[in-house]
Every structure is written in C-alpha cells, then in structure tokens.
Amino acid sequence: MMKTIINNELKIIRIECDLIVHSRGHNKQQDNLIAIEMKKSTNSKKRKEDRERLEYMTKNSYYNEINFEELPRHICMYAIGIFYDINIKEQRVNLEYYEDGKLCKEEVLKY
C-alpha cells in the first residue's frame, strides 16, 4: 500500500521523503517516528514541497480519522519532521524541526 498525505486543498500526495523511521507496527499509538527531508544548499528544487510535506506528516490527524486498529488512509502523526539543509562551502547545516504540523525550532550547526 502506497503511503500518502493529504494537503489543505484535499489533494492526495504520495510520500517521497528522503528518510522515514517508524516502528513497523510494533507501537500502534506512535508508529511514525521521524521524517527527514535533506537538501544541499545548491539545490533549489522542491524546497517548499519538502517543508509542506513535513508539516502534513507531523499533523496529529486528518479530520479525526485515526483508528489505531487499522492503517489510516493518509499518513500523519510523525513525532518529528526535520528539514536538513547542508551548505558544504560554508561548512554548516541549517536544521528546521516540525512538530504538530508546524515549524517549531530552527538551528545552525557548524562543522
């Protein structure tokens, strides 16, 4: 079964996330753990879509349809979403953290 999300316009979107961590059904109440989107700073493609995907994936529900006895039609409830943006030239990583469907924290790491 292909995992999908649904946006505010009720459009169904296939999940094409760079990295997803989940419990494989071992913890039905918090199966979806981490969703990560990664970009190099030189890549300007689909940044807006990646961020929006993290917002939708970390929402608590879609119209209260979550039923822990079966798989929901659209995936959500990821504990955290991370947008990882690496700038190799400047040796830094910009991180954005998403929880409950919104951006909650930003930080910059130097390496």
Domain ranges across the chain: 4-110
Residue 73: name the closest of 16, 23, 5 by CA. Answer: 5
pLDDT number for residue 16: 82
The pLDDT assigned to 15 comes to: 80
3-state class of 41 per DSSP? coil
For 17-64, write each residue's pLDDT tens digit. Answer: 899 887 776 666 666 789 999 999 999 999 999 999 999 889 886 555
Beta strands 80-87; 32-40: pairing state: parallel
**Band of residue 73 on the pLDDT scale cut at 50, 70, 90:** low
